[in-house]
Amino acid sequence: MRPPILRRLLRRVAPVAVCGLLAVLGARPAPAVGAPAAPAATGLQQVTGFGSNPGGLQMFAYTPDGVPAGAPLVVALHGCTQSASAYFTGSGWSKYADLWGFDVVFPQTTPANNALSCFGWFDPAESTRGRGEAASVVQMVEYAKQTYGSDGRRVYVTGLSAGGGMTADLLAAYPDVFAGGSVASGLPAQCATSQAAASGCQTGPQKLSPAQWGDKVRGSYPGWTGPWPRVAIWQGTSDRTVSPANATALRDQWTDVWGIGQTPSGTGSLPGGTTRSVYEDASGRSAVETFSVSGMGHGLPVNPGSGADQCGATGAYFLNTVCSAYHTGVFWGLDRDAPGGGSGLPAPTGLKVTGVTDSGASLAWDAVTGAASYTVYRDGAEVATTPSASFTDTGLTAGTSYRYSVAAADSSGAAGAGSSAVTATTTGGTAPARCFTATNYAHVTAGRAHTSGGHAYANGSGQDMGLYNVFVTHTLRESPAGHFVIADSGCQAGSS
């Protein structure tokens, strides 16, 4: 009979496949079991006594000087073999905490939780409401609200790989705590509820319908009817550790929860070969967004540099493609979400798209008393100042989605709080879809599909194409660039 402590340790040591980072550990040695956590990065402080801590996690926090009470809070969960310090340094969240004014909590696992410091996304004793590590994370949020004055209406959670799987579980179990989330190279909520099932989720989740995936969220907090968190999903098309099919399952899961379809309202291109797809709710507000990074493997997208949309540091599982922290923060509204803004003027209300062409978008909003002008932001960057409560943006790309927000400015030009964002999609101009008929082997070789577990999966859609060999043939339709769907029944395009 094993001693109880040993039994608990063995139960929580996942097989190599449990965490997305584990399959590539041959590239660098795993940390020694029982080794102390890495020293905290400058500015990152450990917090003790934040609660009963049923999951045995450690809490680290980054609280920039000058952040007022009532600011948002971001919770950032590292991947396996990583630490809070590594995630603080590599992810880029500290840059935007300084720039936009919010606090960040970095929960940390230890070898006492899991031999490779993975969050227990696959274990109901750790990932469900009121239990284990999930409950410890929520206690950290409560501590931040009470100690830093964080706004409980604007709490967000993000994570990589096993941290991404736990992020999805937290969003499902605590929709009353988190206003939004971002899952990077992660898993759908409650994809696995046992250690044995975890590796199957990674290599390709169950083939469930959107409603079945959505039921896993609804069942995590029975009786909750909304509002639901707004969810960003980041995935590399060449991830061989966590199958891109998980991004499709995540999209299906959260669009179903929101009661919207799985066809995007619009798509657009971002740096690093990234395709952003927007799924809007009934009011036209973006509820779910997917970010597919062409050719990227397993890790968190970062893009070191001094530009407004650049962040992070490259390293193991921090991949130089695009700054996911920036685009996630813009999606959540953190870029213009500071209470009162620089001028103290309130956020404009009633922002709406009044018209679009193939090269422009027209906006209008309710006037703000005391405003001398209005600052208009496109995808988080300032594009214009206008004296009136309307604006037409020009020089845009046809068939592309753009996200807009506005802020009222005083006579000195200082902008106040930003409005809620709206998405405008320009008309026309989309390149015709292309069709490719070939064997699964040829599709993978040409970069239109990838392999996992002996099957081929279409890049972008993640659809299962069957066995990876030269005996199975499919037609794939590409639209937009880099996004392929099976079109065996017919493909209307200029064929290749």
* Catalytically annotated residue among 161, 343, 419, 479: 161
- As a whole number of angstroms, the distance between CA 326 and CA 200 comes to 32
- As a whole number of angstroms, the distance between CA 141 and CA 425 comes to 36
Beta bridge partners of 418: 407
- As a whole number of angstroms, the distance between CA 288 and CA 264 comes to 9
Q: For residue 346, give the nearest of 423, 420, 424 by alpha carbon.
A: 420
311 CB-contact burial (10 Å; exposed 0-12 / middle 13-18 / buried 19+): buried
Torsion of CA 191, 237, 278, 185, to 10 degrees: 40
Which run of H or E residues covers position 162?
helix 162-173
Are the beta carbons of 75 and 140 closer than 8 angstroms? yes
Is-catalytic flag, 161?
Answer: yes
Residue 303 has φ and ψ, to the nearest 5°, of -155, 85
- As a whole number of angstroms, the distance between CA 124 and CA 139 comes to 18
Dump the DSSP string for 98-135.
HHHT-EEEEEE--TTT-TT----TT-HHHHSTTSHHHH
Edge to edge, what strands does the sheet with 180-184 contain? 45-47, 58-62, 103-108, 73-77, 155-160, 180-184, 230-236, 286-293, 274-280, 266-270
- As a whole number of angstroms, the distance between CA 444 and CA 419 comes to 44
- As a whole number of angstroms, the distance between CA 374 and CA 340 comes to 15
Amino acid identity, residue 68? Answer: P
- List residues with catalytic annotation: 161
